[in-house]
Amino acid sequence: MPSYAEARHIMGRNFVGPELSSCFGVKTDSINSDVPIPFSEDVLKASKDDYLLVSIFPLSIKQMIFYLRDKGPRINTDWMKNEEFTSVTNDGIVWRLIPKFEQDSRTFPIDINTDHTAQELLYTMITYFFATREKLFWDKYVTSSSVNSEGARILIGWFDQIDFRRHARRAA
The chain-wide mean pLDDT, for the chain, equals 79
**Distances 92 to 33, 60, 72, 95, 140 between C-alpha atoms, Å:** 12, 12, 24, 10, 29
Question: Dihedrals φ, ψ of 152, to 5°?
Answer: -85, 140
- What average pLDDT score do residues 85-112 get? 70
Q: Is the pLDDT at 40 greater than 90, yes or no?
A: yes
pLDDT, tens digit (0-9, with 9 covering 90-100), for 83-97: 898 898 888 888 999
Q: Is the pLDDT at 139 greater than 50, yes or no?
A: yes
**d(C-alpha 20, C-alpha 25), whole Å:** 10
Name which residue leads in pLDDT, 30 or 9.
9
Name which residue leads in pLDDT, 110 or 32.
32
Q: Rounded to the nearest 5 degrees, what angle is found at the Cα of 147, between the Cα atoms of 142 and 149?
A: 140
- The pLDDT of residue 39 is 94
Domain boundaries, the chain: 4-170
